[in-house]
C-alpha cells in the first residue's frame, strides 16, 4: 500500500512538472526596437520628416504589428 502511495505521489509530481514545462516553452513573440525614440529636432510647419525604426522579433512565434501611433 505504501509503495502505491509513493508511486502515486511520483506520478502527480512528474505530471505537474511536465505541464509547467509545457507552459514555459510556449512560443511567444518578443518585440525589440533598436532605438525606440528619435528626435527630429526643429521642423518647419508642413515639412515632411522621416525616420526608419528597426524592429526585431526575438521570440519564437510570429510578431504581428497591427498599428503604429506617433508618441
pLDDT band with cut points at 50, 70 and 90 for residue 65? very high
Residue 40 gets the label, from left (phi > 0), alpha (psi -120 to 50) or beta, of alpha
Q: Using one digit for the tens of pLDDT, what is the confidence trace for 2-39?
A: 555 555 555 556 656 655 555 567 999 999 999 999 99
How far is residue 49's CA from residue 37's CA, in Å, rounded to a whole number? 14
pTM: 0.54
Q: What local confidence, expressed as pLDDT, does residue 36 receive? A: 92
Residue 55 CB: number of other CB atoms within 10 A? 13
How far is residue 71's CA from residue 67's CA, in Å, rounded to a whole number? 13
Amino acid at each position: 500500500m505504501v509503495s502505491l502511495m509513493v508511486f502515486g505521489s511520483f506520478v502527480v509530481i512528474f505530471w505537474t512538472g511536465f505541464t509547467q514545462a509545457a507552459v514555459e516553452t510556449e512560443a511567444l513573440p518578443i518585440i525589440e526596437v533598436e532605438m525606440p525614440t528619435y528626435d527630429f529636432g526643429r521642423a518647419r510647419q508642413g515639412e515632411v520628416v522621416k525616420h526608419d525604426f528597426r524592429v526585431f522579433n526575438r521570440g519564437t512565434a510570429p510578431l504581428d504589428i497591427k498599428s503604429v501611433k506617433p508618441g
